[in-house]
A and B are shown apart, each in its own frame.
Chain A
Amino acid sequence: MELHISVKPETLWTVSIPGTGFDLRITNSFLTMLLVMLFLIIVGRIIAQRAQLIPGRLQSIFEMPVEFLLGLVEGTAGKRLGRRIFPLVGGLFIFIIVSNYTGLLPGIGTIGLVKEAEGHALLAAAKGAASEGHGKAELIPLLRPPTADLNMTLAMAFISYVAFQVAGISAHGVWGRIKHMANPPFLLPIEIISELSRIVSLSFRLFGNVFAGETLLGVMYGIANAIKISVIGLVIPVIFLYLEVLFGFIQALIFSILTLIYIALASAHEHGEHEHDDEVPSHQVREEMRPAQASRGH
């Protein structure tokens, strides 16, 4: 079995846009992204249509993660801002987690188009088919997790960047935002670089983790295929599949939590700390701490 590892998403088809001279390349990650979106829209619509005031068992299953996320967002950003940004943060989380988990489905990365040297494409059922028959045949996976494509993660990081800039500007105004960043003024360029570096860190963290997970699983499938002793070959990938389930959840949560923290920081009224409509004033905190300090002194 030959391992197929490609950092770049593979182009499946090229569609030329009439009148522009541009070609739209339909990559495997783009196709999977469309399928993930379609799945989320259909499932979301079905759940929304069947929603009852007193939830049933199935509705409760879907409400649990939403409530967990809402609690997290409101707990971090405050009730008012939290409710405003929840659709973005929740949407990012759900999209990323579903995208991450597509990599665990059977057929992803193994079913694809066999392209021969002449460019003739056939649908192959498994990777093994690529090596049969013609020697120059190459299998291009039909589906690839969208988050294993840097273009996708970079686009999401850019959305996150725009969101926290908009939140900052709407909270302080343009001049207020600049003053908020330039405190003291000589730190403005460093603050700008530091904020731009968030795009790099958000996108590369997610891409790196998901792509590494995909590669690791590919290698483990290869090892499992090579070991022909009883069921040992089946057990090896299972351990890593469990790990990928955990990493997929953590990475989705980290991306959405960091977006949330950045938005909360940008719209904070005091430099460097969250100050919201429902925040405890610092003088009150000092008052609350006084008895505790006094009792420690005795």
Chain B
Amino acid sequence: MSNAWGPDGEGHDDLIKRLTAFGRAPVPPAEQGRHLGAIATLAQEGRKPMWRRNARRAGVIATLGAGMFVATTGLAAAGALGPLQPVVAKGVEAATPFQVPKGPAEKANNQVKTAPAGFHGTARVTDGCVPATNGEFAINHGQYLKQERAKGAEALAAAKASDCGKPLATGSDDSTDPAATDNETDTGTNADHAPKTGGSPTADDHRVPKCTDPAATPPSEPGKPACTPGGSSSSGSEDTSSDASTTSHGRSGTHAGKVDGANGPPSTKAADQS
């Protein structure tokens, strides 16, 4: 390569010649032979196939990969991957011929609950019903509908029309209480619970009962009305709110409110004290 120094090198030609000559001093022959020999040796090393040069690294990578694969497949087959189970199961089934569980969602979707062996719960209608895949009958009507839904619309319609899975007592008068069966369909596992109509009282039941004629109904406790006219609990609060405000200045009013919180509506008690 020829140097064109240009204006930057003007006046320094002698220096530049000395610098250039400095860069052209030959390498000592002994060093040159040593370096060229090292290059040739490196070239021979480089002629080895790639897999032999990187055999150890490739072995480690392959072992790690195989270990990961086996571990993941094993955990997936055992269904021990928790929320990741459906994702990993999909991958494993795509990569291998193995069938692995897809997790709790699959269980819930595919399995129809049947009465376990030795079940002594409410007797259910099974006459004319189709058993589940395991030969047992669905544990309630909701589960029976679920079982038949997979077979098509006609089977589902027939299942809806049937009493299969309903309790023997209520199965016959289905037409009189449709709400009971609807509720049972939604919560199939609660089939053994008592029916709502005769069940335990709910939160609303703690309120003062409705009645049409308070005078005609005797009070159950002294100082407490037997019932409120019109049945609206809010109207009762409105009636006593002004009275309660007058008594709430003293300590007794507060105390009364606390006691009422345990036994009944506070507004009613406050009204009584006033």
- A pairs with B: no
